[in-house]
Amino acid sequence: MQSPRIALIHATPVAIEPIVTAFKRLWPEARTTNLLEDSLSVDLAAQGRLGDEMIERFLTLARYARRSGADAILFTCSAFAPAIEAAAAALDVPVLKPNEAMLDEALACGTRIGIMGTFEPSIPSLRAEVEELARRRSLELTIKTRVVHGALAALHEDHADEHDRLIAAGAAEMEDCDALILGQFSMASAAECIPARPGRTVLTSPASAVLRLKQEFYVRK
């Protein structure tokens, strides 16, 4: 059987390395391709909402990836959940939101959820996703959110250590939770800098997403 081809669609270049690394470690047999459309985040921030035109752009990207031979598609951009859901409904292969698998893990940890992000527009989308998952499971959550200002800019300027330090400092103020979600793929490197706390699990998207895709692919086969 030929190795599956997984299309990775990004809204920012800093999301590429974390997910590619996760695939190499957890599913090296998969053939990954990277499609970057870095105006998406800029346009969302400028428009302030996710409109029909933006959703259509996601459909175009997903259809292009499918026509290029993708057996599954993973979007790595956290602020676009409704657009990714529209793409998933339109295609005949698995289409995964970036944090879908991680949020399932978070709810398995408990009902006190902390959400951290470095791209502020992603926070409402992440919160809505986890609240919807909880509603389906009849769970009542306590949710705390925090935007780590300056971290994403530091990463874009190749100051990865400063990026990780800012996230770790923000995490120190998010202790009272069962699961602490690092909401961008690009935040994964900071997990190692966050001190362990009893009863708190720190979760990142790339590893969870790769394992979920791997599972879905072989189940479908």
CATH label of the domain that carries residue 33: 3.40.50.1860
pTM of full prediction above 0.85: no
Instruction: Kindly state the tokens that stand for 199.
Output: 């009863």
For residue 154, what are the domain limits? 100-204
Report the C-alpha gap between 181 and 187 in whole angstroms.
10
- Tell me which residue of 19, 43, 21 sits closest to 98, measured CA to CA: 19
- Tell me which residue of 172, 173, 179, 176 sits closest to 139, measured CA to CA: 179
- For residue 34, pLDDT over 70 is answered with yes
Residues 149 and 59 in one domain: no
- For residue 2, pLDDT over 80 is answered with no
Sorting pLDDT into bands at 50, 70 and 90, what band is 60?
Answer: very high
Mean pLDDT along residues 149-166: 95
Report the C-alpha gap between 47 and 51 in whole angstroms.
9
Predicted confidence at residue 170, as pLDDT, reads 95
The total domain count for the chain is: 2
Task: Fill in the amino acid letter for 199.
Answer: G
Residues 165 and 216 in one domain: no
Residues 190 and 214 in one domain: no
DSSP state of 38: T
Sorting pLDDT into bands at 50, 70 and 90, what band is 221?
Answer: low
Q: Identify the weakest region by mean pLDDT among 58-67, 72-81, 110-119, 136-145.
A: 72-81
Residues 147 and 181 in one domain: yes
Residues 196 and 186 in one domain: yes
- For residue 32, pLDDT over 60 is answered with yes
Predicted confidence at residue 49, as pLDDT, reads 82
Question: Percent of the chain scored above 90 by pLDDT?
Answer: 72
Residues 93 and 142 in one domain: no
